[in-house]
């Protein structure tokens, strides 16, 4: 692909020779067939050594070696991502229904869709154009999918769920399983299941990683807003409302009835108690336990710092005595004051 073709497709401004490039590569490992990018200024020094044929750089970057062709873009990282799709186009629906697939009589599946081996589409489910439902995926009855959805192998979508346009769900993920709701039976301490009669709504451009779960609502739908991206092993419990363009990284569990705003970023391994609200644009650090609502955007954390086991053993024991230590400090302060020490 010539640089001029790339610029014609994605934009940016070309400087230098209109060379041909065959692949994307990091600055440090690129060879003469590759185009690289410089996004983080701290790698600027790699420009002088790179073997790449061309580099994508911000307009403000100076000191680019003369022999390098460059494409200037306001956002080199985004440009790289867009260019990557030119080299690795997205797989398209093959417009075939595999003979082993089972599509219920009342389901509506346009001819433009791809239905893989052993996939299942239930009664009254309606698919948009060009959807891909891959091997072993199950979409139960009464679901609605927009156009261009990709349902990877062995995904399960329970009945009555709604997916927007271009929703992508990776393997093993379960959408619409029952929320965890039981009424305690006082007589014998047993648990009486509450029917979960809502569904799940995933808005346009939502992507969900592998082996995640989004439970159906108890009465109304659990919802994930437009453009939000959910990683692997994320649990979204019943009745949650996740906003737009929000990102939730792996191994995070969101308890029931939480309301998470727009443009929120939740790092990996976060746990969140139920019925909480998270303000728009909040950033939650990895491993945080969220036990209260966050009403103000900011960066929040709660990780116990790592040490060697020996050091940890010495120190952790005092975590259990902090109130006592504080009391002792207070007493010392009183004694000092009594002894004439200037207490602030």
Catalytic machinery residues: 238
Binding mask 237-276 toward a copy of itself (x if CB under 8 A, else -) reads x-------x-x-xxx-x-x------xx----xx-x-x---
Q: To the nearest whole angstrom, how small is the minimum distance from the Cβ of residue 14 to a copy of itself?
A: 21
Q: Considering the complex, state which of residue 111 and residue 306 has its C-beta at the smaller distance from a copy of itself.
A: 306
Contact between 318 and 325 (Cβ < 8 Å): yes
Q: Considering the complex, state which of residue 17 and residue 81 has its C-beta at the smaller distance from a copy of itself.
A: 81
Q: To the nearest whole angstrom, how small is the minimum distance from the Cβ of residue 43 to a copy of itself?
A: 14
Q: To the nearest whole angstrom, how small is the minimum distance from the Cβ of residue 129 to a copy of itself?
A: 20
Site for a copy of itself in 53-112 (CB under 8 A): 75, 77-78, 80-82, 84-85, 87-88, 90, 98, 100, 102
Q: What are phi and psi of 323, to 5 degrees?
A: -60, -40
Q: Considering the complex, state which of residue 48 and residue 85 has its C-beta at the smaller distance from a copy of itself.
A: 85
Q: To the nearest whole angstrom, how small is the minimum distance from the Cβ of residue 274 to a copy of itself?
A: 9
Provide Rg for the chain, Cα atoms.
27
Q: Which of 261, 263, 292, 265 is nearest to 278 (CA)?
A: 261
> How far apart are alpha carbons 276 and 54 in whole angstroms?
49
Binds a copy of itself (CB under 8 A): choice among 36, 38, 54, 120:
120
Query: Among all chains, which residue has been given the structure tokens 């911000």?
Result: 58
With 0-12 CB in 10 A as exposed, 13-18 as middle and 19+ as buried, what is 91?
A: exposed
Q: Considering the complex, state which of residue 65 and residue 184 has its C-beta at the smaller distance from a copy of itself.
A: 184
Q: Considering the complex, state which of residue 111 and residue 309 has its C-beta at the smaller distance from a copy of itself.
A: 309
For 120-132, the three-class secondary structure string (H helix, E strand, C coil) is EECCCCECCCCCE
Q: To the nearest whole angstrom, how small is the minimum distance from the Cβ of residue 343 to a copy of itself?
A: 8
Site for a copy of itself in 28-57 (CB under 8 A): none
Residues in the interface with a copy of itself (CB under 8 A) total: 134
DSSP single-letter state for residue 88: S
How many residues are recorded in the chain? 344
Site for a copy of itself in 300-339 (CB under 8 A): 300-323, 325-326, 328-329, 331-333, 335-336, 338-339
Bridge partners, residue 132, by sequence? 114, 150
> How far apart are alpha carbons 157 and 133 in whole angstroms?
11
Binding mask 137-176 toward a copy of itself (x if CB under 8 A, else -) reads -x-x-----------xxxxx-x-----------xxxxx--
Q: Using the rule CB under 8 A, is 295 a contact of a copy of itself?
A: no
Q: Using the rule CB under 8 A, is 193 a contact of a copy of itself?
A: yes
Alpha-helical segments (H) within 151-253:
none
Q: Using the rule CB under 8 A, is 286 a contact of a copy of itself?
A: yes
Q: How far is CA 328 from CA 319, 323, 332, 340, 343, in A?
A: 15, 9, 6, 18, 15
CA dihedral sign, ordered 192, 293, 288, 202 = positive
Burial 16-37 (b: 16+ CB within 10 A, else e): beebebeebbebeebeeebbbb
Binds a copy of itself (CB under 8 A): choice among 69, 125, 213, 257:
213
């Amino acid at each position: 692909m010539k640089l001029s073709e790339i610029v014609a497709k994605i934009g940016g401004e070309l400087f230098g020779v209109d060379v041909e490039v065959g692949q994307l590569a990091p600055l440090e490992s690129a060879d003469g067939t590759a185009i690289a990018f410089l996004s983080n200024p701290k790698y600027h020094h790699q420009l002088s050594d790179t073997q790449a044929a061309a580099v994508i750089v911000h307009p403000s970057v100076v000191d680019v070696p003369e022999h390098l062709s460059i494409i200037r873009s306001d956002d080199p990282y985004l440009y790289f991502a867009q260019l990557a799709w030119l080299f690795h186009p997205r797989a398209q629906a093959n417009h075939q229904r595999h003979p082993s697939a089972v599509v219920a009589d009342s389901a509506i599946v346009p001819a433009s869709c791809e239905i893989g081996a052993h996939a299942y589409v239930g009664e009254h489910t309606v698919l948009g154009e060009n959807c891909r439902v891959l091997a072993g995926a199950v979409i139960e009855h009464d679901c609605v999918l927009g156009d261009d959805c990709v349902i990877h192998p062995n995904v399960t979508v329970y009945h009555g769920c709604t997916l927007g346009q271009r929703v992508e769900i990776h393997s093993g993920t379960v959408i619409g399983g029952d929320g965890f709701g039981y009424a305690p039976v006082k007589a014998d301490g047993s648990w009486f299941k509450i029917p979960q009669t809502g569904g799940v709504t995933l808005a346009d451009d939502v992507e969900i990683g592998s082996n995640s779960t989004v439970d159906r609502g108890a009465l109304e739908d659990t919802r994930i807003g437009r453009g939000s991206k959910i990683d692997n092993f994320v649990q979204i419990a019943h009745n949650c409302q996740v906003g737009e363009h929000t990102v939730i990284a792996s191994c995070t569990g969101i308890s029931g009835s939480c309301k998470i705003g727009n443009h929120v970023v939740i790092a990996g391994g976060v746990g969140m108690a139920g019925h909480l609200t998270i303000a728009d644009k909040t950033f939650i650090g990895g491993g945080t336990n969220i036990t209260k609502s966050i009403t103000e955007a900011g960066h929040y954390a709660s990780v116990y710092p790592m040490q060697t086991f020996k050091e940890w053993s010495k120190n952790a024991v005092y975590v259990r005595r902090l109130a006592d230590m504080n009391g002792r400090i207070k007493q010392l302060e009183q004694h000092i004051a009594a002894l004439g020490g200037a207490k602030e």
